[in-house]
A = this chain, B = another copy of it.
Amino acid sequence: MRVLIIGGGGFLGQKLARRLAAAGELAGRAITALTLADLAPPAPVTGRVASQSLALDITDMAATGALIGAGHDVIYHLAAVVSGQAEAEFDLGMAVNLDGARHVFEGARALGAAEGSRPMVIFTSSIAVYGGELPEPIPDWAGLTPTNSYGAQKAAGELMLADYSRKGFLDGRALRLPTISIRPGKPNKAASSFMSSIFREPLQGEPAICPVSPDYTHWFLSPRACIENLVHAATIPDETWGPRRALALPGRTHRIGDMVEAMRRVAGDAPCELIRWQRDPEIESIVLGWKARLDPARALELGFVADASFEDNIRYFLEDDILPASH
């Protein structure tokens, strides 16, 4: 089993790489190669298998085709320009999120044609594909009504992936990720960045700004559960997956104020007092268009998982991202 992670330098890519390297197998088959690609060569990971790292700009169609053409069985395509940046830099978002995805899919198609295989492509989409007037909880068959450029580009990517799959060019699986919290690392240009930073920074003694009211309510998943779901996606037989290639991952609906109280129960008062509440109309204009309640019936049926409570998300962050670094 040869595995390629495009976007392997991102926080999900790195966690997924470490998880796969530690297990040494995916979908019951030994991993013989684990390749990480990103704009800069990602940090290598080791375990039962060692990774190799490469630089790749997916807006370069030829380079993307050449890298994928080297041969892979499962391609995780996690690379994207995040929501806030795709909104501010429209053409960059189109080039990376739409054209870049197409280059990946075309690369997999060419690889499949050359090898007589049907490479599996696991594509991270987003709940940003949902927007506007939809019934809540959002059923599996609603959708693709994005209200920002990131969501529109992800939705168009889903459509292409589904059609490439239907044509037999590849075996595509798109997962609509909830907002991931608590994301480790630094704040980024995602409009959702604060949904991690108001926990991550205070849990490390640093202040953070919350740009929405405590009543803002949204749909969340921990990095740990997200990684388990990314791995699980590769294990589901094609015939079980069926013709609808994209599905909304399970998550939990949380109110920001309640999430802060969950942090208080796990970590005490001090972190909560480091949050400054200061509303930002630009961020609100994006995130208020997002949805808070989904009914991910299909994903649950296929064995994907959510977190039990936001306290768990706090604990996972402390266990996975803070304690290892301080040892």
**A135 at interface (Cβ–Cβ under 8 A)?**
yes
Residues of A within 8 A of B (CB): 90, 132-135, 141-149, 152-153, 155-156, 159-160, 162-163, 166-167, 243-244
Q: How distant is the Cα of A156 from the Cα of B155 in the complex, in angstroms?
A: 8
> In the bound complex, do residue A144 and residue B143 qualify as a contact, i.e. CB atoms below 8 Å apart?
yes
Q: Which residue of B lies closest to A167 (CB)?
A: B90
Copies of this chain present in the complex amount to: 2
Nearest CB on B from A87, distance (A): 9
> In the bound complex, do residue A160 and residue B167 qualify as a contact, i.e. CB atoms below 8 Å apart?
no
Given the complex, which residues of B lie within 8 Å of A135, measured CB to CB?
A: 141
> In the bound complex, do residue B166 and residue A243 qualify as a contact, i.e. CB atoms below 8 Å apart?
no
Among B90, B149, B159, the residue within 8 A (CB) of A155 is B159
> In the bound complex, do residue A147 and residue B167 qualify as a contact, i.e. CB atoms below 8 Å apart?
no
> Given A132-B243, A141-B134, are A156 and B147 also a contact pair (CB < 8 Å)?
no
Given the complex, which residues of B lie within 8 Å of A90, measured CB to CB?
A: 167
Given the complex, which residues of B lie within 8 Å of A146, measured CB to CB?
A: 159, 162-163
> Given A152-B159, A159-B155, are A166 and B142 also a contact pair (CB < 8 Å)?
no
Nearest CB on B from A148, distance (A): 8
Given the complex, which residues of B lie within 8 Å of A152, measured CB to CB?
A: 159-160, 162-163
List 13 A-B residue pairs with CB atoms under 8 Å apart, sorted by A's residue number: A132-B141, A132-B243, A142-B142, A143-B143, A144-B155, A146-B159, A146-B162, A146-B163, A147-B166, A147-B243, A152-B162, A153-B163, A155-B159
Q: How distant is the Cα of A163 from the Cα of B132 in the complex, in angstroms?
A: 13
> In the bound complex, do residue B142 and residue A141 qualify as a contact, i.e. CB atoms below 8 Å apart?
yes
> In the bound complex, do residue B144 and residue A159 qualify as a contact, i.e. CB atoms below 8 Å apart?
yes
Nearest CB on B from A129, distance (A): 9
Nearest CB on B from A53, distance (A): 32
